[in-house]
Amino acid sequence: NAGVMQNPRHLVRRRGQEARLRCSPMKGHSHVYWYRQLPEEGLKFMVYLQKENIIDESGMPKERFSAEFPKEGPSILRIQQVVRGDSAAYFCATQRQNTEAFFGQGTRLTVV
């Protein structure tokens, strides 16, 4: 049973470009959480999705950031018009209802 898969592992974007980060849940997991981590800091919650629905987006910046978890395919975190401050590690975690969450290895976004 494969773990949570995130790709790409590393992503470099120029300021103003778009970044797309993908998260493929473990088999049977219908809940996806996205977190952001700055160097030497803890993980900060961004958004919680279940299939085709956003459950909690209280941690998402109001502009430029969006997330989806379609019926088929991976969850996507999309950052439009990236700025240097978006540089961070982005992790997703997935779970079945009422079970523990498992994290992926993250995508490290660098904006140059």
Partner 1 sequence: GESVGLHLPTLSVQEGDNSIINCAYSNSASDYFIWYKQESGKGPQFIIDIRSNMDKRQGQRVTVLLNKTVKHLSLQIAATQPGDSAVYFCAENANFGNEKLTFGTGTRLTIIP
Closest CA to 21 of 82, 96, 95: 82
Q: How far is the CB of 63 from partner 1 (least distance, A)?
A: 21
- Residue 106: CB atoms within 10 A of its CB come to 21
Beta-sheet pairing, 102-103 with 107-111: unpaired
Residues 35-74, one symbol each (x = binds partner 1 by CB under 8 A, - = not), give x----xxxxxx--x-------x--x---------------
Q: Which residues bind partner 1 (CB under 8 A)?
A: 4, 6, 31, 33, 35, 40-45, 48, 56, 59, 91, 93, 95-106
